[in-house]
Structure 1
Amino acid sequence: MTELPAVDDILQASRTLALGASANELHGGLCGWLAAGGADVAAWPARVLADDSLPTPAPGDALDRLRQAVVAQLEDRDFAFELVLAAPGASLQARTDALFDWCRAFLGGFGLAADTRPSLSEEGEEALQDLARLAQASSDQFDSADEDEDALAEIEEFVRVAVLLLHGDCVLGARHRQRLN
């Protein structure tokens, strides 16, 4: 199952469970958690949002399908990983803000899952630092709509690749090292 639920479905499920997080924040946090080696568990919102009192999504609901899709996408050797950002048709500013919020949530999830500073490759370190810079950015920094569309597409692609790189360093690399020992 690699297809992500629709943004509106994720948002509705978040409201139903009173999570207080947008679809992009939930996806970013979950991706950060899993990329750093966090456990693939049904009760992921409690872990990712650092609140043990949060309810577990029902099997098959949008948040459960989101977890399953992210796990499958991160493990996919064809790099099928996608970002959940803003709803289709959202303005450039809304999509840009969603990407920066996604990066903030990713860093939060990554930090929660990584008990200690993970051993990252040089590229992984650089990717993590770049994600931190994006998390501090604002859509106010954009000027021209055409150039901004292109810039946003490039940033989204960078983020997608950075997540796969960090997952490779923290999860896939660790698995490979275990097999060698």
Structure 2
Amino acid sequence: MELPDLPAIEAQSRHLALAASPFELHGGLCGWLAGGGAPVREWPAKVLADDALAAPAEGSALDELRVASAAQLADRSFDFALLLPNADAPLVERSGALFEWCRGFLGGFGLAAGAKPPLSDEGSEALVDLAKLAAAQAQDEGDEDDEAALVEIEEFVRVAVLLLHGDCVLAAQHRQRLN
């Protein structure tokens, strides 16, 4: 399943008066799901820790974002995608969005997984690396090496999320099936 387009997510987010960028929202949603949170329609209230937030309408861009993200994380083909600006956007915009995504992810993951999630050594390391990225600031200028580095970082984040989802969700499901 593909993610809905960015303008539709931005419009729905403004309509619901959500105080997070689409990138931070998607990161938070993916963190929530990777940490074991349920893929409920009321996900913005869970991810933003504000019970007063209305649930997105069924079939809306934010609801489609939830459905597609949950499906991508659960799919064994590793087709999970981050919601980020297009590749032709300026480097500062793309890197800033990636760092926002990571900040959202950490918040959502912490809310769902709690203080002591059941992580492998690799998962613990990945979480520390995601925290470093969340603390990073976008640079105004960049060259081809910076472009290549950003592509590698995006791939690292994508794989780290799948690893954390595997530790917290898939491993728990596997243990339940064994019992």
**Matching residue of 1:124:** 123
- Alpha-carbon shift at residue 116 of structure 1 (Å): 3.7
The TM-score normalised by the length of structure 1 is 0.95
Structure 1 segment 101-120 matched on structure 2, within 5 A: 101-120=100-119
- 27-36 or 87-96: bigger deviation: 87-96
Greater mean alpha carbon deviation, residues 89-98 or residues 27-36: 89-98
Aligned mates of 2:86, 2:16 — CA distance in 1: 20
Give matches, 1:28-67, under 5 Å.
28-67=27-66
- Cα distance in 2 between the residues matched to 1:144 and 1:48: 33
Q: Deviations over 1:107-158 (max 9, x none)?
A: 0000011134111001100100000010111123x86420111000000000
Partner of residue 176 from structure 1, selected from 168, 174, 177: 174
Distance 2:56 2:86 in 1: 21
Provide the residue aligned with 1:91 in structure 2: 90
Counterpart Cα distance in 2 of 1:109 and 1:144: 30
Partner of 2:69: 70
Q: Which amino acid is the alignment partner of residue 55 of structure 2?
A: T
Gaps of 5+ in 2: none
In the alignment, structure 1 residue 153 sits paired with structure 2 residue 151:
yes
- Give TM-score, length-normalised by structure 2: 0.96
Aligned-residue CA RMSD in angstroms? 1.2
Count of residues in correspondence between the two structures: 179
The 2-side partners of 1:3 and 1:177 are apart by: 30
Assess if the C-alpha contact under 8 Å between 2:92 and 2:141 holds in 1. Answer: no
Any idea what the Cα deviations from partners look like across 1:5-59, whole Å, max 9, x if unmatched? 0111111110011112111011000000000000110100000000000011000
Give the Cα separation in 1 of the matches to 2:55 and 2:159: 29
